[in-house]
Amino acid sequence: MTGAVLLQDVHFAWRRGGFALTVPHLAIATGERVLLVGPSGAGKSTLLGLIGGVLPASRGTVQVLGQDLASLSARARDRFRGEHAGIVFQQFNLLPYASVLDNVLLPLRFAPQRRARAGGRHGSAAEARRLLSALALDGGLETARAATLSVGQQQRVAAARALIGSPEIILADEPTSALDQDRQRGFLALLFAEAARAGTTVIVVSHAPALAPQFDRVLDLRQVLAAPAQAA
Ligand code: ADP
């Protein structure tokens, strides 16, 4: 069993003398829901970037779904991420002038396997609507431009976009920071219910310790990293 994520002796530095992190060993099982915590600036987003293949490790092995990311070209890594990872960004990164529906369908455009899993060219809009409704977004909003939505609604669109086509892994960077605690919990419950349907692994970065009981495991980044490298 390779699990969902395996990091071995991974090193990354933003630039020579800048922030650097070393992860001796980190394994995340398939279907596991992991909350990644740690102080601001500790490297949580950087670690998500390494797992998502957005940032290349300068040393060591990053395996995602059994695939060694270093063995892929940058382009192949982008394709791999598009097919297999759903990403919820801190600022959601929705296309402001595109409709809610088009925003949800966006990841399928360059990911043919994922599009097929979502129901293909004809079925994927229905799947997008199902997800929006499962995430409690009013069906009347599907033609609305993303920019006209409230923050809570935009967050649901971002979650539907991450979930469409059942990617094996979801990476979410502080997806709930704009919401109060009750709404944060409610949002995660909806996200997890959908993720559980497909056995999806979910890794969430958050500052909110109150969310911990909803996860299988809380990983404090300070326990994941080797002794910090010297900053310049
Ligand atoms: P966290 O998510 O835990 O707040 P980050 O991973 O965002 O931490 O940042 C960790 C460190 O990496 C910080 O010191 C930050 O300044 C640095 N860093 C983040 N992004 C960049 C970047 N694009 N270029 C250079 N340094 C960066």
For the chain, the structural domain boundaries read 31-56+72-220
Tens digits of residue pLDDT in 184-229: 888 888 889 988 988 999 999 987 778 899 999 999 999 989 865 5
Tens digits of residue pLDDT in 171-184: 999 887 777 778 78
CATH class of 31-56+72-220: alpha beta
Distance CA 122, CA 216 (A): 36
Rounded percentage of the chain residues whose pLDDT exceeds 70? 97
**For residue 227, what pLDDT is reported?**
66
Name the residue of 36, 40, 46 whose CB sits within 8 Å of the most ligand 1 atoms, as the mutation to test its pocket. Answer: 46
Q: Which atom of ligand 1 is nearest to the CA of 173?
A: 2
**For residue 183, what pLDDT is reported?**
79
- The answer to whether residue 231 scores a pLDDT higher than 60 is no
Tens digits of residue pLDDT in 39-61: 989 999 999 999 999 999 999 99
pTM: 0.92
pLDDT band for position 136 (50/70/90)?
confident
Give residue 53 CA to ligand 1 midpoint distance, Å: 16
